[in-house]
Amino acid sequence: MSLSEDVYNGQIFSKTAESVWNELKESYDKIDVSVTFNLYQKINSCSQSGQSLSDYYHKLNAMWRQFDDMVKIDDIVSANKSFQEHCQFLKLMQFLIGLDDVYVPIRSQILTYDPVPSVKTVFSIISRDESHRLHSASSSNVNKMHSSAFNSNTTNFVNGNNSTNNKKKNTKIHL
């Protein structure tokens, strides 16, 4: 670690490394309440807004970790399991609230679960649902394309519009 010259000069006559660290911590390890407020506001206003489910989850998770670190939530949580469960419940609600409307059906289903799953579990459930939905949609589009092409060719054949027949009918012999 390096120190600016001013900080170094202020600590040069300290007797132990511990006293240096304690003084630096006291001077610089301060979190302004407005920073905490702004981060919490960002967390509560965070929504998926068209980004991928994974990007939304990881962005929100990063802010939760930063907030927990800022307010030293781990120290509080380790002392009280019910408080830990409450914090996880709030994170789940924040995650579900921010999801795009396409997830309303699965969100409603998840809210009926007893006990309520963790945020990680819910993310996994919704990711699998999204993957299945996207796979089904792409398969459906391919099937529609094949079905449409089949119907078009069948209609042409039944109506006598087969391109081979049309070429034979339209071919005139000139002498």
**Contact status, residue 112 vs residue 106, Cβ threshold 8 Å:** no
| Model pLDDT for residues 28-78, shown as the tens digit of each residue | 666 678 888 999 999 999 999 999 999 999 999 999 999 888 887 777 666
> Cα–Cα distance between 162 and 88 in angstroms, integer?
65
Helix (H) or strand (E) holding 14, with range, is none
Write down the pLDDT at residue 73: 75
Radius of gyration of the chain (CA): 31
pTM, two decimals, is 0.59
User: ∠ CA(130), CA(136), CA(141), 5° rounding?
Assistant: 125
Peptide bond into 115 cis (omega under 30): yes
Is pLDDT above 60 for 94?
Answer: yes
Least confident range from 10-24, 40-54, 78-92: namely 10-24
**Contact status, residue 68 vs residue 74, Cβ threshold 8 Å:** yes
CA distances from 76 to 28, 68, 104, 136 (A): 22, 10, 34, 45
| Model pLDDT for residues 126-167, shown as the tens digit of each residue | 999 888 888 877 776 655 555 555 555 545 545 555 544 444
CA distances from 147 to 141, 150, 154 (A): 10, 5, 10
Mean per-residue pLDDT, 92-112: 95
Domain boundaries, the chain: 30-135
